[in-house]
Amino acid sequence: MRRMLGIALAGIIAGCALEAPMDTGGSPQDPPLPRTPSILPLQRGNRWVYSDTHYGATGNKIISREELNLEIPGVFGLSNGVLVELDPWGFRDTFPEYVYKYEWEQTDSGYLLSYRDLNVAARGVYIVGEYNRTAETLYASPILWLAYPADSGSTWEYLMPGSSDTIATRMEVLSTNAQFYFPDTTMPNLSAARFFKCCLYKQSKDNAVSYYYYHESVGALGYLRYVDGALRRTYILKAFDEAR
């Protein structure tokens, strides 16, 4: 179900409870595909649409597009280091862990994500591997990407496997009560806004700093990237299609 900002998304301000997905398999006996609660809603079929803007070093707008697409096109069961892609309509066993494809712009490639809250030093969304078309690769050591839940001031670092970088990416939870707002297009006065309570993450590496605003019922609401102190890119959520 598509949630348009300024109208349907407003309801999540009052609470962040996750709904149980409706069964669409033709029988109440058919279990739904797994849905993992985290700061990034992990469920097969979830889709996001962002407006995306790039800026030059002097602040001039160089690229602006209204549709930057993100989706979770598939889910795997993970057991003993083996991935089993789950059929959305067929019989599904219970797995100790579920892994989700995370894909931009329908490239048929991306990262494999999992939410982990047991037997880990920090709970959160982990990057556990990557995929390209029909080939999946699991990392020897999963990478903590978005700690959640976490206290303000929490920090961690990571290096991507296979990278030649020697400088780690540094992550920090700047706030668990940050405010992000959108213009309320339902009001005559377009300066009106709706506010969302968010978890604000800061990502730092070399001369670049990025800020991510996340809401647990929607995922990323907005993103800002600075290079040498100058704003170079933003994207803002326009719509969220939640799988049912």
CATH of the domain at 75: 2.40.360
pTM of the model: 0.82
pLDDT digits (tens, 9 = 90+) for 20-64: 334 444 566 666 666 677 999 999 999 999 999 999 999 999 999
User: Which residue in the block uniquely carries the two structure tokens 């999992």?
Assistant: 114
Query: CB neighbours of 154 closer than 8 A, spacing ≥ 6?
Result: 122, 147, 172, 173
pLDDT of 9 > 50? The answer is no
pLDDT of 90 > 70? The answer is no
Q: pLDDT band at 163, cuts 50/70/90? A: confident
Phi, psi of 106 (to 5 degrees): 50, 50
User: Which residue in the block uniquely carries the two structure tokens 């989700």?
Assistant: 100
Contact in structure between 23 and 35 (CB atoms under 8 Å): no
Q: 209 has which bridge partners?
A: 204, 226
pLDDT digits (tens, 9 = 90+) for 101-133: 999 999 999 999 999 998 899 999 999 999 998
Q: 211 has which bridge partners?
A: 202, 224
DSSP annotation string for 113-129: EEEE-SSSSS-EEEEEE
Percent pLDDT > 70 in the chain is: 79
**Range from 2-6, 77-81, 115-119 carrying the lowest mean pLDDT:** 2-6
Q: pLDDT band at 166, cuts 50/70/90? A: confident
The domain in which residue 108 lies consists of 2-241
Contact in structure between 100 and 42 (CB atoms under 8 Å): yes
Question: How many H-runs (helices) and E-runs (strands) does the chain carry?
Answer: 0, 15
- In terms of phi and psi (left: phi > 0; alpha: psi -120 to 50; beta: otherwise), the region of 16 is alpha
What is the identity of the amino acid at 237?
A: L
Question: Residue 153: which of 115, 201, 198 has the closest Cα?
Answer: 201
pLDDT in the model for residue 130: 97
Domain count, the chain: 1
Average pLDDT (90-104) is 85
